[in-house]
Amino acid sequence: MADIMKVKTIKKRLKTIPNLPDYGKFCKTFKWTDAKKDVEWVDNRINAAYNAVDKHVKTWRKNKVALYWISETDEKKFTFFELHKLSNKFANVLKKLGIKKGDRVFIFLPRVPELYVSFLGTLKTGAIAGTMFAAFGSKALEDRLGDSGAKVLITNTELKSRVYEAKKNLPELKHIIIIDVDKPKISGEISYKAAMEKASDKFVAKQMHPEDYAFMLYTSGTTGRPKGVMHAHVAIIQEHATAKWVLDLKDDDVYWCTADPGWVTGIAYGILGSWSNGASSVVYEGRFEPEKWYDIIEKYRVTVWYTAPTAIRMLMRAGLKATRKYDFSSLRHICSVGEPLNPEPIFWGMKAFGLPFHDNWWQTETGGILIANYPCMDIRAGSMGKPIPGIKAAIVDDNGKKLGPHMEGNLAIIPPWPSMMRKIWKNEKKYKSYFMGKYYISGDRAWTDKDGYFWFIGRADDVIKTAGERVGPFEVESALIEHHAIAEAGVIGKPDPLRGEIIKAFIVLKVGFKPSKALEEDIKVFIKKRLAGHAYPREIEFMVALPKTQSGKIMRRMLKAKELGLPIGDTSTLEKY
């Protein structure tokens, strides 16, 4: 079994009474019909953007700051009432263009206020919003805009050249809205500023059937083009509930989700679920710099922080000394998502901020958090935690048979749940491939302990079989970054005629350390002592950086393809270095 690392438990540390005070008791009686009451409905219809912003305009939150926007050179703030009016204006801009329910409207922008306004405005009209990372190249844009049949694109002058490289292959793209020009000179372009100035700030958000689509996101795989994952307006129920239970958002919180809305976290917990709970959100557009991030936490008195393991490891790389200049007393709850969180960053969080990071698990396809570590629970370092109320998760074998504790298998969920994807755009076969019997099969391998905590092993394709033993890359990576010289690590299985596969580690060193044979041997001995004789990397390659997606996931398949000289598949979501 893969649980060969000693489990360390972190006792809960509560600064306030959590929204979910007793996980076990709450799960026994909870039903999704209960969560329906926490969002607003109009004649059994719902609109996610209305719930995120408009409903607050009728309350004391009307003039509360919803968005603190920060760039490297500027700062702005927007109240819920201001976002309400601006998104109404954008909805009217789309209406004037003839956009109607079901039309696709895509956003290709950095994290600027116009991104958030146009996303909300699109949902208010009943159209389907799509978001794309500002790092995408022309081929990635062509794949997404072409497959979706997008009619409108919102972008800026810096990014639009990439759009025009693909434009000849996008016959359905009729309008390009440019946010930073007053008078566009190209036919089909529209000035955002001019259109917004003319538009009325009065608009009644279209209340939708719960199953009507709200937004779509394209995810990449090892083969083929990216696939369009569709989410419905009813997803707001789960996004609201999990922002309340897992992120523990309250009215007086200043909340920072570091995710870009090109990634599902940036939508579910950077726009919809967080604002639905009435939290004030911080958005930072600038480049990653540890001291800038620390300055934001201190200056804006951030209370709840939701970030990614890669970002945490990059902060670790900068060292604890950098944290000592700042006041983090405002922080009361910190969380992580994007890929499994190794134990070492959890303990580092306690040294740096006086708090442990709470990991949680979900996917683009699940639309919301499904398994988590909650403020009211002890953390078992390295565990994904326990399923959210209303979710039944299991470990099953390849035939769909449920397995018992400490048995490795497929992480599976019993559908439905509110934020579950409703389809893969124009690909019913792909959608059906996610399901086996009564289960949604996540593609992740995991196991449970006797107390119901779930533990990640790796993607099904990533699990290494060496000398008859199965090894999860995550546990080896977790052990590697405990080494004093290692900042990041990615692990793959490499074919070997004797052992079937051997473990190969790709390693990024901390500042001040240099590759050497002596260091390689020291690392191997270090892992042998912490794991098992079969679980150490027989080969080590030092790298300047590991390939990652925009959301921070280490792309092990690219490491493997590089090692074996294989095609690397779609790389449109790859982070640019």
Look at residue 342 in the predicted model and tell me its pLDDT. Answer: 84
Q: Can you tell me the mean pLDDT for 233-258?
A: 98
Residue 399 lies in a domain: no
Closest CA to 446 of 488, 386, 499: 386
Last-in-domain residue among 390, 424, 443? 390
Alpha-carbon span 54 to 413, nearest angstrom = 33
Q: Which of 318-332, 471-485, 510-524, 557-571 has the lowest mean pLDDT?
A: 557-571
pLDDT(223) > 60: no
> What pLDDT is stored for residue 549 in this prediction?
76
Q: Is 490 helix (H, G, I), strand (E, B) or coil?
A: strand
pLDDT at 339 over 70: yes
> What CA–CA distance (Å, rounded) separates 438 from 447?
19
pLDDT at 574 over 60: no
Q: 46 and 168: one domain?
A: yes
Residues 384 and 465 in one domain: no
367 and 466 share a domain?
A: no
How many whole angstroms separate alpha carbon 114 and alpha carbon 83? 10
State yes or no: pLDDT of 470 exceeds 80: no
Give the model's pLDDT for residue 137: 84
Boundary (domain end) residue, out of 373, 390, 407: 390
* 355 and 465 fall within a common domain: no
CB 155, CB 165: distance < 8 Å: no
Task: State residue 2's pLDDT score.
Answer: 42
Residue 415 lies in a domain: no
Mean pLDDT of 348-352: 96
Residue 520 pLDDT > 90: yes
Chain centre to alpha carbon of residue 282: 16
Provide the CATH number for the domain around residue 534.
3.30.300.30
Q: Is residue 376 domain-shared with residue 473, that is, in the same domain?
A: no
Residue 135 — pLDDT band, cuts 50, 70, 90? confident
* pLDDT tier, 469 (very low <50, low <70, confident <90, very high otherwise): low
Cis ω before 416 (30° cut-off from 0) = yes
> What whole-number distance in Å separates Cα of residue 302 and Cα of residue 314?
20
Domain endpoint, select from 329, 362, 390: 390
Residues 483 and 371 placed together within one structural domain of the fold:
no
Residue 282 and residue 45 in contact, taking contact as beta carbons nearer than 8 Å: no
Is 344 in the same domain as 485? no
The two tokens of residue 244 are: 């309340």
State the residue range of the domain holding 148: 11-30+32-390
Same domain, 386 and 494: no
For residue 48, pLDDT beyond 50: yes
pLDDT digits (tens, 9 = 90+) for 170-203: 999 999 999 999 988 888 899 999 999 999 999 9
Asked, for residue 551, whether it belongs to a domain, the answer is yes
SS3 content of the chain, % helix, strand, coil (to 5): 30, 25, 45
**What is the predicted pLDDT for the residue at 4?**
43
Q: Is residue 426 part of a domain?
A: no
In a domain, 421, yes or no: no
Q: How confident is the model at residue 349 (pLDDT cuts 50, 70, 90)?
A: very high
Distance from the first to the final alpha carbon of the chain: 37
Q: Tell me whether residue 498 is in a domain.
A: yes
Give residue-wise pLDDT tens across range 57-116: 999 999 999 999 999 999 999 999 999 999 999 999 999 999 999 999 999 999 999 999
- Nearest CA-CA partner of 100 in 120, 127, 123, 82: 127
Is 439 contained in some domain? no
Q: Residue 434: exposed, middle, or buried by beta-carbon count in 10 A (0-12, 13-18, 19+)?
A: middle
Statement to judge: residues 503 and 363 lie in one domain: no
Same domain, residue pair 380 and 468: no
Question: Is residue 257 scored above 70 in pLDDT?
Answer: yes
Contact of 446 with 455, CB cutoff 8 Å: yes
Domain count, the chain: 2
What are the tens digits of pLDDT across the range 315-331? 998 899 999 999 999 99
- State whether residue 153 is helix, strand or coil: strand
Residue 16 pLDDT level (bands cut at 50, 70, 90): confident
Local confidence band at 337 (pLDDT 50, 70, 90 cut-offs): very high
Tell me: the pLDDT tens digits for 268-309? Answer: 999 999 999 999 999 999 999 999 999 999 999 999 999 998
The CATH number given to whatever domain includes residue 261 is: 3.40.50.12780
Amino acid at 16: T
Of the ranges 24-38, 302-316, 432-446, 531-545, which one carries the lowest mean pLDDT score?
Answer: 531-545
| pTM (predicted TM-score) | 0.85
> Which pLDDT band holds residue 3 (cuts at 50, 70, 90)?
very low
Within this chain, do residues 172 and 37 fall inside the same structural domain, yes or no?
yes
Q: Over the chain, what is the mean pLDDT?
A: 92
Q: CA Rg, the chain, in Å?
A: 23
Residue 140's pLDDT band, with cuts at 50, 70 and 90, is confident
Query: 45 in a domain, yes or no?
Result: yes
- Tell me, yes or no, whether 150 and 289 share the same domain: yes
Q: Residue 1 pLDDT more than 70?
A: no
pLDDT bucket at 226, cuts 50 / 70 / 90: confident
* CB 166, CB 138: distance < 8 Å: yes
DSSP for 204-272, please give it.
-PPPB-TTSEEEEEEE--SSSS-EEEEEEGGGHHHHHHHHHHTS---TT-EEEE---TTSHHHHIIIII
